[in-house]
Amino acid sequence: MVAFVPVYCAVRLLTSLLRAARWHRWLPRLHTLLGIRRRVLYLEVFYPGASGYQYRVAQWLPVLESAGFTTQVRHPLSGVATSALLGGGWTGLFLTGYMVRRVLQCLTAPLYSCVVVRRELLLYNDYGDLFLERFLLALNPHVVLDFDDDISAAKQEPRQISWVGRVLRENPSKFGESLDLYPQLIAGSGYLAGLVRARAPRATATDVEVIPTCVDYHELSARVYESDSDVLTFGWIGTNGNLPELERIVPDLEAVSRDHPIRLIVISGRDLEHDATFPVANRRWSLETQIRDLREIDVGLMPLEDSLVARGKCGFKLLQYMGLGIVGMATGITTNREIVSTEGVDGFLVEPGEDWEPALRRVLAHRGEFAQIGARGRERVRDHYSVQSHADRYVACISRACAGRENGRENPGS
């Protein structure tokens, strides 16, 4: 992190100069002079093609543009560069390249009516005590933080800091403290919105908007269940880091497979690391092939341990299954209980701590009703978790951010 110190010092100096010059008072004049109106900059945390970008940013761009906004998305590094640097052990180079690129992107913030930050500005880098967030807010106070996970729990905040971290001003509660910096936030669930209100007491009801991770699968053909198939196909989709949640219930699937023919489709970035006697098909996730692979699944699985990290999840797997008319089966915590409205009617819930084997057998007993259950789940997603169902609220939220609020929190970047 040799490059971190000069970048950090330069950014802190610029932030101090912007505050001393009261730049936030000059910004409206700049916008009037340049004719900047309803221009939105997205600072995406991941590279193009990542699932989070597609469902939390990309599908909202045409909605905003049809409402008269102009949008621009800035990514940190490409997927190729990210894989090459992290996969090759060049972590320091990755962090440096990411940071420098982010600083340059932040410098363009005054040319936009508002900025939407996805999750956090710096990935895997908690040094500098939110120096880049403060810099961005000094450049343009009209910033929205969009997040769909309890990142604070995922980072196990507050963390123990080493002496190196203390020298570099590593923040032990970076994400939790960032919630009180941003003037407006978009949370992926009511549970996450509650965390904001608990950790950012200055946030008002209008500062926090709940927008779920939406899927517009109702325009795609639904899963067609074949009554003459003996083999039942279970499936799971997710990131490499979440695969242990699936591996935990493989013994339960094994028990069911002893008296009922099953197979498992795993859509991820690596193979399932668990020996199984029943057939397992490992499919590499991609935006282009995920729908095709999902349509082969009879029952979509979303097992979770009842932890703070799991409670902060927004049920995206479950929404994908149900949105395609696939019977969804998930651990019944927080958001999952909202997505499945009625047990056995539009999906299935497994109580936290409950063994999955009897739950799996309970679902099997409803196999003759899969088509109807899948159709009801698909209808629920269309009505409550689609882009169309939240478009007006999303546009209103971005409109508020662009306009600013006269009675909002003063100088949030201070």
Banded model confidence at residue 326, pLDDT cuts 50, 70, 90: very high
- Per-residue pLDDT of 277-293, as tens digits, reads 999 999 999 999 999 99
94-103 b/e (C-beta count within 10 Å ≥ 16 → b): bbbbbbeebb
For residue 406, pLDDT beyond 60: no
Strands 114-118 and 70-74, by their bridges, are unpaired
pLDDT computed for residue 206 by the predictor: 85
Angstrom CA distances, 46 to 73, 83, 98, 248, 276, stand at: 11, 12, 10, 28, 34
Token readout for 124 is 């895997």
pLDDT computed for residue 1 by the predictor: 63
Banded model confidence at residue 414, pLDDT cuts 50, 70, 90: very low
pLDDT computed for residue 49 by the predictor: 85
For the residues 177-190, what does the mean pLDDT come to? 94
pLDDT computed for residue 204 by the predictor: 84
368-385 b/e (C-beta count within 10 Å ≥ 16 → b): eebbebbbbbbebbbeeb
Banded model confidence at residue 68, pLDDT cuts 50, 70, 90: very high
pLDDT computed for residue 164 by the predictor: 87
Angstrom CA distances, 34 to 28, 113, 280, stand at: 10, 11, 58
- Per-residue pLDDT of 144-154, as tens digits, reads 999 999 999 99
Banded model confidence at residue 410, pLDDT cuts 50, 70, 90: very low
pLDDT computed for residue 202 by the predictor: 80
pLDDT computed for residue 60 by the predictor: 98
pLDDT computed for residue 286 by the predictor: 92
Angstrom CA distances, 12 to 18, 19, 64, 133, stand at: 10, 11, 33, 11
- Per-residue pLDDT of 201-236, as tens digits, reads 888 888 999 999 999 998 899 999 987 778 999 999
Give me the domains of the chain, ranges plus CATH numbers.
Answer: 4-214+388-403 (3.40.50.2000), 217-385 (3.40.50.2000)
For residue 17, pLDDT beyond 50: yes
